[in-house]
Amino acid sequence: MSCNCCKGMITEDPRFAELDAFIASAKSTPGSLISVLHKAQHLFGFLPEEVLQHIAAGLQIPPAEVYGVVTFYNYFSTEPVGRFPISVCMGTACYVQGADRVLAKIESELGIKTGQVTDDGLFSLVSCRCVGACGLAPVITIGGEVHGKLTEHDVPKLLAEIRQQAIADGLVEAPVQEPVAAGSDK
């Protein structure tokens, strides 16, 4: 089975060889799609378009069906995710309390837009609908942890704390410059 949807990067990227081996071993088991998706997410960190097309061709499941399954489960992501995924609630209560300003501040602090991931892979950013904590509005979650009653002025300190902890834990290297400047000089 050859996949004619994939361009150069795929043949060169060794992770595809590993994925192919896994597909070959899983193929005959009914319901193998979920385990293949887990494997792929583990290998690539998220599930990009080319990877899903590759899986679809490999398992002979139409891409639209694969995509339906991927988007049904919360634990699959089609966007790159950082170690600390940030999700900003844009539900009505949070919006009224200034969630858009919080989001804008996070974007400028990190130098990324919604749906992107920072270069060091530490943070990624999405907005979401009501998370059911309207009493704490505006609410954001960072790596699953809820931070409520936040103003845009709290954002720099919060992010800096997480980054410092990550540096201390050896998750990322200490930046040459202060993190505040990191986003603005590109």
Chain residues in the site for another protein (CB under 8 A): 4-5, 27-28, 30-33, 49, 52-53, 56-57, 59-69, 71-72, 78, 129-130
Cβ proximity to ligand FES, 8 vs 135, nearer residue = 135
Cβ proximity to ligand FES, 51 vs 89, nearer residue = 89
133 binds ligand FES (CB under 6 A): yes
Ranges within 74-113 binding ligand FES (CB under 6 A): 89, 91-94
Give how many residues touch ligand FES by CB under 6 A: 12
Torsion sign over Cα 124, 128, 132, 138: positive
Cβ 10 to another protein, closest distance in Å?
A: 14
**First-residue to last-residue Cα distance in the chain:** 43
Nearby residues of 100 by Cβ (< 8 Å), 6 or more positions away:
90
Give the separation between CA 67 and CA 53, rounded to whole angstroms. Answer: 9
Show the tokens assigned to 129. 């609908």
Cβ proximity to another protein, 7 vs 157, nearer residue = 7
Only segment of 3-11, 110-118, 125-133, 170-178 that touches ligand FES (CB under 6 A): 125-133
| From ligand FES, another protein, none, interface partner of 94 (C-beta below 5 to 8 A by class) | ligand FES
Give kind and range of the element (H or E) at residue 128. Answer: strand 123-128
151 binds ligand FES (CB under 6 A): no
**What's the order of all strands across the beta sheet hosting 123-128?**
123-128, 84-89, 140-142, 145-147
Show the tokens assigned to 24. 């070959």
Go through the chain and tell me how many residues it has: 186
Sites of contact with ligand FES (CB under 6 A) = 89, 91-94, 130-134, 137, 139
